[in-house]
Structures are given as C-alpha cells and as structure tokens.
Amino acid sequence: MSGGQETAPLLTAEEVTRVYVLGRDNEVHALRGVSFAVDHGEHVAIVGSSGSGKSTLLNLLGALDRPTSGHVRYHGRDVRDMDDTELAQLRNADIGFVFQSFQLLPRLTALDNVVLPLVYRPGSPRERRERARLALERVGLADRVTHRPGELSGGQQQRVAIARALVTEPALLLADEPTGNLDSRTGEEIMILLEELHRDRGTALVVITHEAEVAARAARRIELRDGLIVAEAA
C-alpha cells in the first residue's frame, strides 16, 4: 500500500493504444492514444458510452492486458516489461477489482470468497481467515460470513466483492460499473462505502461508469469517446 509522502504518480498511461485484429482485414481500434496519470490516494471517474473504450482501458489499468503501443507504468515500471508472473504479482499486491457482476464463486461462503486473494500470501490459514473476517466486518457483513452468494442480496454480494478487493490492502481499487446491477438506493450505499474506504485507507479509487451521478462524486472526471479522451475536469 502507498506511503504518506508519495510524489510520483501511482500509475501513468502514455499514448496508449489497443487494436484488436478480428480478421485479415478487420481491425478495431479500441483506444487511439490515451494519456493520463493517477496519483496515490486519488479518486478518478472514467466515463463514456458503450463502445467508448472504457472496458479496454480498465483491462490495461488492471494489468489484465498489454497495450498495442504506448506505455502503462506502475511506480514507474512499464507493464510491457513484466512477464506473466510479475503481472500476476502486481495484480495481487497492488490492484483490487470490483466488477459489476460481482464475480463471486457461488459454492463458496462470503468468507471463503474473500480469503481467495490471500492464498498465495504469507501467513497461516487461520491468519488469512481472520483478515477476511475483518474485511467483511469493515463492509458491514459480520453476520453474513457463512452465507453463499445465492443467499445474499445484490448489495450484499457487492460488499463481499469490495471486501475481497481490499483484503490485500491494494494501492489502487478499480471499480467497473460498481452500481450497474443495483437499485439506486443500494448503489448510493455502495458508493458511500467505496468513498469511505478510499478516504480511510488512502487507496486510489478509479471508477469506470456511464452514470453521470456516479462520475460527479469523483475529484476528477475523464471522458472517453471513440477511444480518445475528449474531456477532463476536476
């Protein structure tokens, strides 16, 4: 997790492009030269309509994919210079993911879902489960640790996903349409929770969204259209 006096950005994207080849003569230019930085502890919203490049950018920021050209750097190091093992370590140590569809394993309890990112971390099984239990308590689910996803509401499942994302104490939390599958009241509760955790932990929060109300909550808003940044404002 980041320290208190960081000066260099947590991550930078420099002239990033991503081209998907779908056939001999069919290329999709999902990103066309995107540049921006995210500082330690910053709250940024990336907005745009379907097809704007948001999901592609999320995959690059989360080190789930490499750019076709340009550079994505964490702590100054280019992800294109990392092998698969190093990328996996980066994702496990520095990045937490919260997805619109929750991505919980249905046969595991809430506690066991949250334990998963800790499997390759030092510590005993008992210590890992205690960390997971504390993470669930932090998101208000102390009384749901033995429940499976099918026994939880949508908002509760998203809280489990947030606990799983934060149990490793990442420097960056990537939230992809975190309110997309929730009603407006539950979505508001989830955004308040994410913002509290962002403030309390100093975790950088990047929210991918098409909702203007969600984007307006961030300290900075970046708008994508057709694979390009067309607006950026505080």
Average pLDDT along the chain: 93
Write out pLDDT tens, residues 94-152.
Answer: 999 999 899 999 999 999 999 999 998 888 999 999 999 999 999 999 999 999 999 99
Residue boundaries of the structural domains of the chain: 11-233
Give the CATH number of domain 11-233: 3.40.50.300
Please give the backbone phi and psi of residue 188, each rounded to the nearest 5 degrees, phi first.
-60, -45
| 3-state SS track over 21-80 | EEECCEEEEEEEEEEEEECCCCEEEEECCCCCCHHHHHHHHCCCCCCCEEEEEECCEEHH
